[in-house]
């Protein structure tokens, strides 16, 4: 059954949405009609004029199509400008659950590697680099081990400090632990049929606002939680 987007939090200036896996945040050059933006415009048509791009009203950050979880959306132009500034200044904290192949040697760490566009695009396999060039941008990702599953997989809590395209996916692959069911960066590792989609879920946002901290959290997506339950029954990494 296809999951629907859900408004998790809302006030006069912004809202936080739980985006399901399989839904684009906004249309690409191909002009898709089924997107989070199209859903938002049906729910809150007043955001149509918010922002700088009419194809992305209210959108200040995005999630990959196969990534599920939290997105914050501006409802006013003032909130849009403020959220942009907070993201630029790295004041907004984001946390994700990521299931990776293998188990990291350490329990936590920070990856600092520049991410490069390959042939001017970011959605390619060959995108990480520590060589400075006009096509690379600094990127920092902190991660912490949550739960290992034998030697085959591990659940991580991942906090990107910057917001580069595919950042978590690229950084985890660069340290030898690509995300499970990642079609771009997991090489020839076969996606478990019981999962069937990228295991990456944005579960937490922390947004400073007028001297206070807005805290928004959601549970693990049901399909991901079901897959983890299967792994716990068989920690060798082959769901039962």
Map out the domains of the chain as residue ranges: 1-89, 94-203+220-240
Contact 160, 93 (CB under 8 A): no
Is 64 part of the annotated catalytic residue set?
Answer: yes
DSSP class of residue 64 equals -
Entry pTM: 0.90
Q: Which CATH fold would you assign to the domain 94-203+220-240? A: Pseudouridine synthase (3.30.2350)
Q: What is the pLDDT along the chain (240 residues), one digit of tens a residue?
A: 567 899 999 999 999 999 999 999 988 766 677 899 999 999 999 999 999 998 899 999 999 999 999 999 999 999 999 999 999 999 999 999 999 999 999 999 999 988 876 554 443 334 444 444 446 778 899 999 999 999 999 999 999 999 888 999 999 999 999 999 999 999 889 999 999 999 999 999 999 998 899 999 999 999 999 999 999 988 665 654
Tell me how far apart the terminal alpha carbons of the chain are, to the nearest angstrom.
Answer: 21
CATH 3.30.2350.10 given to domain 1-89: yes
Report residue 72 as tokens: 């914050």
Q: Pick left, alpha or beta for residue 120 (phi over 0 → left; psi -120 to 50 → alpha; otherwise beta).
A: left
Q: How far is CA 153 from CA 148, 187, 191, in A?
A: 6, 15, 12
- Out of 11, 53, 64, 157, the active site residue is 64
């Amino acid at each position: 059954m296809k999951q629907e987007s859900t408004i998790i939090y809302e006030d006069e200036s912004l809202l936080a949405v739980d985006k399901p896996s399989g839904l684009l945040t906004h249309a690409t050059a191909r002009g898709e009609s089924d997107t989070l933006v199209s859903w938002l415009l049906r729910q809150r048509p007043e955001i149509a004029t918010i922002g700088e791009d009419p194809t992305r009203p209210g959108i200040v950050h995005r999630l990959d199509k196969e990534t599920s979880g939290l997105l914050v959306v501006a409802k006013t132009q003032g909130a849009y400008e403020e959220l942009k500034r907070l993201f630029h200044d790295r004041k907004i904290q984001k946390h994700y659950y990521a299931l990776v192949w293998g188990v990291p040697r350490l329990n936590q760490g920070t990856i600092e590697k520049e991410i490069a566009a390959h042939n001017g695009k970011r959605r390619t396999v060959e995108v990480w680099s520590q060589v400075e060039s006009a096509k690379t941008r600094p990127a920092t990702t902190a991660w912490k081990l949550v739960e290992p599953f034998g030697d085959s997989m591990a659940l991580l809590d991942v906090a990107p400090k910057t917001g580069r395209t595919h950042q978590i996916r690229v950084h985890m692959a660069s340290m030898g632990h690509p995300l499970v069911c990642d079609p771009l960066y997991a090489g020839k590792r076969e996606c478990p049929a019981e999962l069937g989609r990228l295991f990456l879920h944005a579960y937490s946002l922390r947004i400073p606002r007028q001297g206070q901290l807005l805290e928004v959290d959601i549970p693990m997506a049901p399909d991901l939680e079901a897959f983890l339950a299967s792994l716990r029954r068989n920690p060798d990494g082959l769901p039962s």
